Structure 1
Amino acid sequence: MARSGMLGEAKKVELPQGVVAYREVGEGPPVVFVHGLLVNADLWRNVVPAVARGGHRCLSPDLPLGSHEIPMRADADLSPVGVADLIGDFLAALDLTDVTLVANDTGGALVQVLMVRRPERIGRVAFATCDALERFFPPVFRFLPPGARLPGSGWVLAQALRPRLFRRLPVTFGWLSRRPVPDEVMDSYLRPARDDGGVRRDLRRFLVGVHRRYTLAAAEEFGSFDRPVLLAWAENDRLFPMSLARRLADLFPDARLVPVADSATFVPEDQPAVLAGLINEFAPVSRR
């Protein structure tokens, strides 16, 4: 399944963990979009064009979180720390500096780990409702890491999401967006794991490693991250409440919290124009 043409030109980069596909459009200071579990770069299809028009180089990688099309190497570290390092390796391979990172859902947890491990290429971070602190994962999804240890669980999960009716259940995608995600986009998200055993293997390897100890440990170091942080947070989200956002914002020296109305966790799906506007205000067009 090809990614949305609105994300720009299709490219690939060789990293120590394997080949990562990404889309790129626009010119100017780099903005890298980090998606979460069981979605891919298509999550950003309605956000990227406006940010590119705002004077930014937009890069949207497909991370190995279950909706990618190129399996990673068999020995790749796909723990939360390993995938955070993969994002850092992506920035390094493309020699990106003073980067604006925009992260949603599980991607926010990975960026938090990256911020304290390898902050040197990061200029600022925008979180669009995401895992943080003790909510990695939120309670409704905490069955996934232990479930992933069971043989064949990747195949079972991929097949369970085949019926479209099941995709709106709270334990699948139902609480992630206010409105149903278009079927063709959901196919982009779900078909890779159904069709490719290597993708399912990568998904399981990530899931078994998910634990709140990673986000809690990262949070202890946020006081030393002196660059700007934006939290564009769905104000009535069921998975990541506003109280979590306030606690997260208080940990950073330079953070701004902006409530986003009429949205669930997938702010890029529910309120893409609002999110794009906030990113354009937050990310400078000229380098510092």
Structure 2
Amino acid sequence: MGSPLVAHLRTGTVEYRVTGPESSPHPPVLFVHGVAVDGRMWEPVAALLAAAGYRSVLPTLPLGAHHIPWGPAHDRSPRGAAALVRELVTELGLTDATLVGCDTGGAICQFALDADPDFVGRVVFTNCDAFDQFPPQPFRLIFALLRRRRLLRPLIAGPMQVRALRHSPICLGLLVTNPDAEYTRSVFEPLRTDPAIRDDFVAFLDAIDRTELAGTTPRLSRLTIPVSVVWGADDKAFRPELGRRLAAVFGQATFTAVPGARTFVALDRPQAVVDAVVAGA
């Protein structure tokens, strides 16, 4: 996919990759990931979309697996990340894009849509935070531990370097059926090696307020753009009932349960995400 491009925005500096034909008859696709992963988690979906003639933008947001610090001069909160996504859409001319969100990225998408319900053309939510599930257990406890600055580096430099622990049911094994060892190792490298990245990460986690999302999700009933909800049916954290409840907010949204998939549907069943994007375009 080549070296990442860099967008220097008022709300922060973000790396992103682009895949698919430069000229496409289809709306572009913009992917939004969650904490402690990067834009590479969407590559299986983006590759399938490229083969179908779609152009995709895969940013790595400053949520812990990034390489360019966000910095305290910026709003390092979920709403600050949402503002960054909206500014990236404007900067890259993606106003007709299909926005695809996962995990914490789904909450960021909701905050972005709350600020401007028409900043993209359509939305696909995969398993993500919604209402007061921000985050759901066991991640509420895990985030509480990671917010402790004195514990963060030892946790990342110690247990997270052990594949069995990274892939355990209380870590990434809860999110994806068959984690890739090199990917799961590499996403933690910025947190392990760069104190500025750790500072960004803790600032973002500190700013998470589940009451704020609880008030935001129901307000999205005013959206008039197409919405699809594609939910991994085997998710033990973001359970299918949460996905159905999210879909019900939008009235005309489609809900698709995906057997054999957990939170990262894009990795477990990428074709399901592709189908939702193509159907809504």
TM-score, normalised on structure 1?
0.91
| 1:116 equivalenced with 2:151 (yes/no) | no
What secondary structure sits across from 1:68 in the alignment?
coil
Equivalent in the alignment of 1:272: 270
Q: Which amino acid aligns with 1:141?
A: F
Equivalent in the alignment of 2:238: 240
Q: Once the 2 structures are TM-superposed, how far is the Cα of residue 148 of structure 1 from its aligned partner?
A: 4.4
Task: Provide the rounded CA distance (Å) in 2 between the counterparts of 1:229 and 1:9.
Answer: 32
Q: Once the 2 structures are TM-superposed, how far is the Cα of residue 146 of structure 1 from its aligned partner?
A: 3.6
Task: Provide the rounded CA distance (Å) in 1 between the counterparts of 2:81 and 2:151.
Answer: 21
Equivalent in the alignment of 1:259: 257
Q: Which amino acid aligns with 1:56?
A: Y
What secondary structure sits across from 2:110 in the alignment?
helix
Give the share of equivalent positions with the same residue, in percent: 34
Equivalent in the alignment of 1:16: 10
List aligned pairs for 1:1-288, cutoff 5 A: 5=1, 10-26=4-20, 27-28=23-24, 29-159=27-157, 160-179=159-178, 181-282=179-280, 284=281
Q: Is the 8 A contact 2:69 2:197 kept in 1?
A: yes
For structure 2, which runs of at least 5 residues remain unmatched after alignment? none
What secondary structure sits across from 2:101 in the alignment?
strand
Deviations 1:203-253 (A, max 9, x none): 111111112122211123112111111111011310111111111111113
Task: Provide the rounded CA distance (Å) in 2 between the counterparts of 1:267 and 1:152.
Answer: 33
Q: Once the 2 structures are TM-superposed, how far is the Cα of residue 99 of structure 1 from its aligned partner?
A: 1.5
Aligned pair count reads 276
Q: Is the 8 A contact 1:105 1:131 kept in 2?
A: yes
Q: Is the 8 A contact 2:15 2:59 kept in 1?
A: yes
Task: Provide the rounded CA distance (Å) in 1 between the counterparts of 2:146 and 2:28.
Answer: 35
Task: Provide the rounded CA distance (Å) in 1 between the counterparts of 2:46 and 2:18.
Answer: 9
Q: Once the 2 structures are TM-superposed, how far is the Cα of residue 151 of structure 1 from its aligned partner?
A: 3.3
What secondary structure sits across from 1:221 in the alignment?
helix
TM-score, normalised on structure 2?
0.93
After superposing on structure 2, the runs of 4+ consecutive aligned residues of structure 1 that deviate more than 4 Å are none
Q: Is the 8 A contact 2:79 2:111 kept in 1?
A: yes
What secondary structure sits across from 2:81 in the alignment?
helix
Q: Which amino acid aligns with 1:176?
A: L
What secondary structure sits across from 2:161 in the alignment?
coil
Q: Is the 8 A contact 1:9 1:25 kept in 2?
A: no
Deviations 1:31-65 (A, max 9, x none): 10111111001101111011122232200000011
For structure 1, which runs of at least 5 residues remain unmatched after alignment? none
What secondary structure sits across from 2:121 in the alignment?
strand
Q: Once the 2 structures are TM-superposed, how far is the Cα of residue 187 of structure 1 from its aligned partner?
A: 2.4
What secondary structure sits across from 2:138 in the alignment?
helix
What secondary structure sits across from 1:78 in the alignment?
coil
